[in-house]
C-alpha cells in the first residue's frame, strides 16, 4: 500500500505536534487515504517523518507527527553527466537513473546533443526533471532525491568533475572496459566521487574526446556492442551501483 509522500513544506515539528500540509493534499485524496491512516513524509534531504492523518480538508490535510528520523548521505557519490536528448526519452532516462540512486545528474550540451532554445525552456525542463526526481525517490523508497543541475556545455561539465576521485567517459573505441576499471577502485574509502559521462547518439566528437583527455578523464568501453544513450546510461549506472555498494551498503 502506498504511504510515502514527498512534501514541499519545511517541517519543524516534534512527536505529538499537529501540522497542516497543502503540497500532498491531492495525492492523499488520489490514493484514497482516510483519517487515522499512517503515512511517511519525505523532504528529499534525508529526513523522514511518520504521521497520522487527522483531517482531510478541501485544500490541505492535518497530520499528527509521530516520529522523525534523519538519514546520513552515503559516502559514495555517483555523478551522471547526460547529453540532452529527445524530450520524452530524456524524461524517462532521468526517472530510471534517479531510481537507481545517482547523487547528481548534469545535463550536458554537446556537439551532437539536442539544444535548448532559451532560459524559459531550460527552467521549464528543470522544474519537470525535479518533479521526476522526487517521484523516483518515493517509488524507490530512497531518503534523498537526486539533484538535477542546470544544463551546461561540455567544457564546463568537465571542469565540474575536475576534482572527482574517478572521471570516466564512455567511448566504444576505448580499450579499457568499465568493469575492469571499477575493479581497480577502492570503494571502501571514507569518501569517493565518481563522474560518469555518457555520449549522445552518434557519440562524442573526436575533438570532445581529446578535450576529455586534457581534463584527465579515462575513456571506458561499456560493452562490445553499440548502445543508445538511454541503454548506455542505465548500463553504466547499474555497474557503478553494483561495484560501489557490493557489500550491501546500499545508498539510502
189-207: per-residue pLDDT in tens?
Answer: 778 899 999 999 999 999 9
pLDDT band at 248 (very low <50, low <70, confident <90, very high): very low
Q: What is the pLDDT of residue 191?
A: 81
Q: What is the pLDDT of residue 250?
A: 40
Contact 21, 9 (CB under 8 A): yes
- Give pLDDT tens digits for 109-139: 999 999 888 999 999 999 999 999 999 999 9
- Give pLDDT tens digits for 146-203: 999 999 999 999 999 999 999 999 999 999 999 999 988 877 777 889 999 999 999 9
Percent of the chain topping pLDDT 70: 96
Cα separation of 216 and 198, whole Å?
16
Whether the predicted pLDDT of 251 surpasses 80: no
- Give pLDDT tens digits for 26-79: 999 998 999 999 999 999 999 999 999 999 998 999 999 999 999 998 888 999
Give me the DSSP letters along 39-104.
Answer: EEEE-SBSEEEEEEEEEE-SS-EEEEEEEEEEPPPPSEEEEEEEE---HHHHHHHHHHHHHHT-SE
- Which spans in the chain are helix H? 25-30, 87-100, 119-140, 154-160, 178-183, 206-214, 229-244
- Give pLDDT tens digits for 58-72: 899 999 999 999 999
> Per CATH, which fold does 76-244 belong to?
Alpha/beta knot (3.40.1280)
Domain residue spans in the chain?
4-70, 76-244
Facing residues of 81 across strands? 106, 197
Q: How many CA atoms lie within 13 A of 55 on its CB side?
A: 10
Facing residues of 209 across strands? none
- Give pLDDT tens digits for 15-29: 889 999 999 999 999
Q: How many CA atoms lie within 13 A of 127 on its CB side?
A: 6
Q: With a threshold of 0.85, does the pTM exceed it?
A: yes
Q: Which CATH number fits domain 4-70: 3.20.19.10, 1.10.287.70, 2.40.240.20, 3.40.50.150?
A: 2.40.240.20
Amino acid at each position: 500500500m502506498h504511504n510515502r509522500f514527498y512534501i514541499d513544506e519545511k517541517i519543524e515539528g516534534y512527536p505529538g505536534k499537529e501540522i497542516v500540509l497543502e503540497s500532498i493534499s491531492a495525492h492523499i485524496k488520489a490514493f484514497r487515504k482516510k483519517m487515522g491512516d499512517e503515512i511517511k513524509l519525505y523532504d528529499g534531504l534525508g529526513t523522514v517523518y511518520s504521521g497520522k492523518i487527522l483531517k482531510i480538508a478541501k485544500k490541505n490535510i492535518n497530520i499528527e507527527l509521530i516520529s522523525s528520523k534523519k538519514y546520513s548521505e552515503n559516502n559514495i557519490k555517483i555523478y551522471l553527466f547526460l547529453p540532452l536528448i529527445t524530450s520524452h526519452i530524456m524524461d524517462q532516462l532521468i526517472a530510471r537513473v534517479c531510481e537507481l540512486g545517482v547523487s547528481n545528474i548534469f545535463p550536458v550540451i554537446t556537439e551532437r546533443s539536442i539544444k535548448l532554445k532559451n532560459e524559459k525552456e531550460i527552467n521549464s525542463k528543470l522544474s519537470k526533471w525535479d518533479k521526476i526526481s522526487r517521484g523516483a525517490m518515493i517509488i524507490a523508497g530512497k531518503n534523498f532525491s537526486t539533484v538535477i543541475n542546470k544544463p551546461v556545455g561540455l567544457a564546463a561539465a568537465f571542469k565540474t568533475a575536475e576534482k572527482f576521485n574517478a572521471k570516466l567517459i564512455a567511448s566504444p573505441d576505448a580499450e579499457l572496459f568499465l568493469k575492469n576499471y571499477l575493479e581497480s577502485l577502492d570503494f571502501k574509502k571514507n569518501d569517493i566521487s565518481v563522474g560518469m559521462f555518457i555520449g549522445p547518439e552518434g557519440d562524442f566528437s573526436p575533438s570532445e574526446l581529446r578535450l576529455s583527455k586534457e581534463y584527465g578523464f579515462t575513456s571506458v568501453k561499456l560493452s562490445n556492442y553499440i548502445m543508445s544513450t538511454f541503454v548506455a546510461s542505465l548500463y553504466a549506472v547499474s555497474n557503478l551501483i553494483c561495484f560501489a555498494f557490493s557489500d550491501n551498503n546500499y545508498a539510502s
